[in-house]
Amino acid sequence: MQIAESLKQTKPYLFAEIDKKKNALKAQGVDVISLAIGDPDMPTPEHIVDAMAKAIKDPKNHQYPDYEGSFAYREAAATYMKRRFNVDVNPDTEVLALIGSKEGIAHIHTAFLNPGDYVLAPSIGYPVYSGGAIMQNGQVYYMPMNAENDFLADFDNVPEDVLAKAKIMFIGYPNNPTGAIAPVEYFDKAIAFCKEHDLLLVHDNAYCDLSFDGYVAPALLERPGAKDVAIEFFSLSKPYNMTGWRIAFATGNEMAIKALGTIKNNTDSGQFTAIQDAAIAALTGPQDCVAKMNEIYTQRRDLIIDALASIGLDVKAPKATIYIWAKVPEGYTSASFAEAMLEKAHVIVTPGSGYGPDGEGYIRISLTTPDDRILEAVRRMKEAMA
């Protein structure tokens, strides 16, 4: 039995590895505090759970779902795009339901890459942008991204030979893991670049509704000409505390939506319709639950930044996302610092190097842990570093 070459090149998934370490320690009875994965600790809002409870009793929902998502769900996604961004999308041809946006991001490679083709991926980014390419026998060009360029992935100097074989460019703002935000001019430049070089522009907008200090994140599809070249991914996981439900949608360029839909209907049979009904309640129901989460995350952000400063970690307050991106202290690498915190403090942080080459020298801390545990984690980290 032999596994595929592409799988041999595929790295184990960052958070699956972290889970293994966490579970091994927990099995030994260790009190582990995870500040790693962005998995909201608060429950899904009640009106969404109620919608699910009703939908699950409807026998119609017990049969196969519609491949592209129920029309009602796609309409709710279109309603959200109009309400939130004043963007018009056709629910029939420009919206596709996803079993979480990770699934859609992975499959977009299958739809657009031939073996040997390149994707342009931010050199600090969600691991699936590059991992999806490798699984498809594609290649990855990392666009430089660092504090000097405000963590805006730089596509000004992509070599000609790479560009000749490039098919997809990924960006994502508000950014996981750095918390960076992008000015709309950056989006305009990315749209023009992808038009010029005949690339599909993929914008991962999973964190657009989690923002602080009055910042309101835009959609790429708000920008002129975006639909000509772009597909945008939205997720219900983070704003509505629904990571376990696996529900998201893609919207934008009709051809890209159709291509992704064809890969999906040959691969999966859609998301449980009852979950889509609950998602309709999320997208079209009251939004005060999202505002409440943003208040909680703002408090946690400030709490953790103060606490990290007290142990000498250099941190800038993000305007969006649920992540703090911090430089590791002198003498550590991302991995050695994360390792040391795990061993000595039983605190899990995500090594920045897991997000790509320019992530080296950083760690990511997630705000999805209650205040008392955050404070306990920082206390232990301080002790471990002393």
**Residue numbers of the site for ligand MLT (CB under 6 A)?**
15, 37-38, 102, 176
Question: What amino acid occupies position 341?
Answer: M
Only one residue has tokens 């691991």, namely: 127
Provide, rounded to whole angstroms, the least separation between the CB of residue 220 and ligand MLT.
20
Provide, rounded to whole angstroms, the least separation between the CB of residue 228 and ligand MLT.
29
Nearest residue (CB) to ligand MLT, 102 versus 346 = 102
For the chain, give percent helix, strand, coil, nearest 5: 45, 15, 40
Provide, rounded to whole angstroms, the least separation between the CB of residue 233 and ligand MLT.
12
- The closest alpha carbon to 367, from 309, 317, 332, belongs to 317
Nearest residue (CB) to ligand MLT, 20 versus 83 = 20
What distance in Å separates the CA atoms of residue 6 and residue 23, rounded to the nearest whole number? 28
Q: Which residues of 150-175 are buried (b: 16+ CB within 10 A; e: fewer)?
A: ebbbebeebeeeebeebbbbbbbbbb
Nearest residue (CB) to ligand MLT, 138 versus 172 = 172
Nearest residue (CB) to ligand MLT, 294 versus 368 = 368
Q: What does DSSP say about strands 166-171 and 118-122: parallel, antiparallel, or unpaired? A: parallel
Provide, rounded to whole angstroms, the least separation between the CB of residue 119 and ligand MLT.
18
Nearest residue (CB) to ligand MLT, 37 versus 385 = 37
What DSSP letter does each residue of 287-318 carry, written as one string?
Answer: -HHHHHHHHHHHHHHHHHHHHHHHTT--B---
Nearest residue (CB) to ligand MLT, 170 versus 193 = 170
CA 377 vs. chain centroid, Å, equals: 24
Nearest residue (CB) to ligand MLT, 337 versus 355 = 355
Provide, rounded to whole angstroms, the least separation between the CB of residue 287 and ligand MLT.
21
Token pair of 172 as six digits? 């994502």
Question: What amino acid occupies position 267?
Answer: T
Provide, rounded to whole angstroms, the least separation between the CB of residue 62 and ligand MLT.
28
Provide, rounded to whole angstroms, the least separation between the CB of residue 350 and ligand MLT.
7
Question: What amino acid occupies position 70?
Answer: S
Nearest residue (CB) to ligand MLT, 176 versus 253 = 176
Provide, rounded to whole angstroms, the least separation between the CB of residue 38 and ligand MLT.
3
| 327: exposed, middle or buried (Cβ count in 10 Å: 0-12, 13-18, 19+) | middle
Which residue blocks in the chain are alpha helix, DSSP H? Answer: 5-9, 14-27, 46-56, 71-85, 101-112, 127-135, 160-165, 184-196, 226-229, 254-265, 273-284, 288-310, 334-340, 371-385
